[in-house]
Amino acid sequence: MASANADSLLGTASEVRRAANRLTRRLRTERSADALSTNKLAVLSHLYRNGPTTAGRIAAVEHQRPQSLTRVFAELERAGLIARTSSPRDRRQSVLELTATGLRALADDMAERDAWLAAALGELSETERQVLRIAAGIMDRLADAEVNVVSDPGGGDDGDGHGGKDELR
């Protein structure tokens, strides 16, 4: 019975991943050609949701190494989208904060995608839209889940839909 449950969970996981990846790719196509990179949007979004924080904290939450985001932080600061100040607790650390310009850039980017998504949602019934509202909350909880996986049954998919055989399921 446990194997059937595990197979059911893997099947559901595959369906959710595929659908989330397809919707993510579609939403990316609804952005303008000069839109901010995914990493830049992740940083701005994190600062918007959580307020000022350290570069290390953003990297940890985004599951990246701080060195991988160093250039992103510098480019965002140069563009005036974030501000960097010394941490009051540890002067060796910097605290990053979203600027008004950064907030406008984030809002503009979200507006492009939200306009397409709102039009697409208009094609659904009220019941379907309500199910998606509930699913959105559940997906947010899943994104924050801290679970340990013993093995990688999915063939190494990194979540972007380019994981080889995993995409075929």
Q: What is the mean pLDDT of residues 56-61?
A: 91
CA distances from 53 to 43, 81, 94, 112 (A): 10, 15, 8, 27
pLDDT given for residue 169 in this prediction: 37
pLDDT of residue 142: 92
- Mean pLDDT, rounded, for 32-59: 91
pTM for this model (two decimals): 0.71
Report the pLDDT value the prediction gives residue 103, as an integer from 0 to 100. 97
**Chain-wide mean pLDDT for the chain?**
86
Tokens of 135: 């699913």
Each domain of the chain, given as residue ranges in start order, spans 1-30, 36-145
Q: Does residue 163 register a pLDDT over 90?
A: no
CA distance 72 to 47: 14
- pLDDT number for residue 151: 61
Q: What's the whole-number mean pLDDT along residues 110-116?
A: 92
- Match domain 36-145 to its CATH number in 3.40.50.720, 3.40.50.1220, 3.40.30.10, 1.10.10.10: 1.10.10.10
Q: What is the pLDDT, as a whole number, of residue 162? A: 42
Whole-number CA gyration radius for the chain: 19
